[in-house]
Amino acid sequence: MIRDSTAALLRRLVLERQRDGRVPGIHASILRHGEVLWEAGVGTAEVGTERAPARDDQFLIASNTKTFVATMVMQLRDEGRLDLEDLLADHLPGLSHDLTVRDALSHLSGMQREPVGDVWVTLEHPDARALLEQAEQAERVLRPGDQFHYSNLVFALLGQVVARLDGRPWDESLRARLLDPLAMARTTVGFDDGPRAHGYFVGPWHDVPAPEALIDLRATGPAGALASTAGDLARWTAFVAAPDPGILDPATMAEMTRPRAFIDPDGWQLGMGLGFFLLRTPGGRVLTGHTGGMPGHVTAVFTDRSCGTAVIVLMNSSTPPDPMAFAAALLDTVLDRDPAEPAPWRPGTEVPADLRPLLGRWYSEGSPWDFSVRQGVLEARSPTWPAARASWGFERVGEDLLRATSGAERHEPLRVLRGPDGRVESLRWATYRVTREPLGIGQQPAGD
């Protein structure tokens, strides 16, 4: 749990956003590994009542849906049923645009934002057949890979890829692949029959909220059709922080949450991975998640994967305060004041014999690197790094050959070179010489 003083400060932050943004109702929560540390409902879930939004109220989570669709695409990749370099047209016959799955997941395809037609004026979205037929008329507004350009159209098409490969509607795949295994029973396409927050528009010149219409997104659904609750989303944040390997390889989630593009190339505070936004908070933390906006509902779900702490913000207004900044402020407040308790140090059981000669300080290009073994795994770090920065790990792939598993040199080889007597003389890391004494790049050690 968190201290009472921190809880009071969090509630005040929610009250300030609710009042300043004139939001009928907000539910906000802080989770750690899926367990609720703090939550608050402020305002009303339905205008005319005094019932504050609660953990079991459904909100439309809108574009947070994309993180679920992206995860299903990556499951299919891990199953060998598609490749990230595949074209969507490889799986959607008749589509002529050369959009790769990887670029589609990262909003780097250059395709127009919405399905063809004024769908947000007519509020008539296409069915699956019309979506694919009309996609041929869609404009590519940028060259692929040129810059981040958000596209609901492309995520709708990714949903069709999932449906084609799985042989069932995308939402049925979602239920079987993610929602049922994660016990997210109240995450549905549109609202179910349970309690929910009603959505409103609050105009600028008076204080009377107007109910917003409910929209059937039809085939655009994979871009934003889901409704969910704070309770269900708590389980989702725990999964994002540490996926169950039976559902998704943790290495795949790490791949999804590495940046591929800057959303704000001037500020470098917001990036895009594979289906996930990557937000750097004012406190310097990197959060993984997404925001969502549908008429009457704006939401944000973000997780600090390094400590398993997450924030969920659900608001029933079309024009609330910036959900991303709101979420970052809440999470920074908790982690500044009540950080996650560090795991206790655990003694290892053995140092593999072939790693013992590699321990200690080495030098590459004259700069020091410290090699150590933790839990039987070889690690390297610069002594100039801050303590909080993780060491880079290695895995053995052959005799006297390892590969980096993390860091800037990930997958580069580390070769162990031995002298005539079998003793380790030097290393080659990403082809660079690594020696026990500091040397300039052009200097030769004795006997090398």
CATH of the domain at 149: 3.40.710.10
**Which candidate, 231, 132, 243, 220, places its Cα nearest to that of 187?**
231
Write the burial class of residue 214 (CB in 10 Å: 0-12 exposed, 13-18 middle, 19+ buried).
middle
Residue 161 lies in a domain: yes
**Helix count (H) and strand count (E) of the chain?**
10, 21
**Can you give the residue range of the structural domain that contains 411?**
356-434
- Is residue 152 within 8 Å of residue 224, measured between CB atoms? yes
Task: Give the β-pairing of 367-374 and 360-364.
Answer: antiparallel
The whole-chain average pLDDT of the chain stands at 96
Residue 344 lies in a domain: no
Residue 256 lies in a domain: yes
**Last residue of a domain, which of 276, 303, 337?**
337
Whether residue 425 is found in the same domain as residue 377? yes
Q: What was the pLDDT predicted at 388?
A: 84
Q: Specify the DSSP element, H or E, that contains 10.
A: helix 4-21
Whether residue 233 is found in the same domain as residue 275? yes
Cα–Cα distance measured from residue 41 to residue 188, given in angstroms and rounded to the nearest whole number: 22
Whether residue 363 is found in the same domain as residue 264? no
Write the burial class of residue 423 (CB in 10 Å: 0-12 exposed, 13-18 middle, 19+ buried).
exposed
Residue 244 lies in a domain: yes
Whether residue 123 is found in the same domain as residue 235? yes
Which two three-digit tokens encode residue 18? 């609710």
Cα–Cα distance measured from residue 256 to residue 74, given in angstroms and rounded to the nearest whole number: 8
Residue 121 lies in a domain: yes
Q: What was the pLDDT predicted at 446?
A: 64
Residue 142 lies in a domain: yes
- Cα-based distances in Å from 123 to 118, 153, 175, 220, 347: 8, 15, 26, 11, 60
Whether residue 91 is found in the same domain as residue 234? yes
Cα–Cα distance measured from residue 124 to residue 137, given in angstroms and rounded to the nearest whole number: 17
**Last residue of a domain, which of 309, 337, 365?**
337
- Cα-based distances in Å from 192 to 108, 111, 228, 269: 34, 33, 9, 36
Whether residue 137 is found in the same domain as residue 54? yes
**Last residue of a domain, which of 275, 308, 337?**
337
Whether residue 60 is found in the same domain as residue 181? yes
pLDDT below 70 — which residues of the chain? 445-448
Q: What was the pLDDT predicted at 103?
A: 98
Whether residue 200 is found in the same domain as residue 57? yes
Whether residue 367 is found in the same domain as residue 305? no
Cα–Cα distance measured from residue 411 to residue 256, given in angstroms and rounded to the nearest whole number: 17
Whether residue 379 is found in the same domain as residue 324? no
Q: Specify the DSSP element, H or E, that contains 388.
A: none
SS3 284: coil
Whether residue 207 is found in the same domain as residue 243? yes
SS3 128: helix
- Is residue 304 within 8 Å of residue 335, measured between CB atoms? yes
Number of separate domains in the chain: 2
User: Taking every pair of C-alpha atoms in the chain, what is the biggest distance, in angstroms?
Assistant: 86
Residue 348 lies in a domain: no
Return the C-alpha torsion angle 80, 84, 89, 92, nearest 10: 50
Whether residue 198 is found in the same domain as residue 296? yes
Q: What was the pLDDT predicted at 342?
A: 86
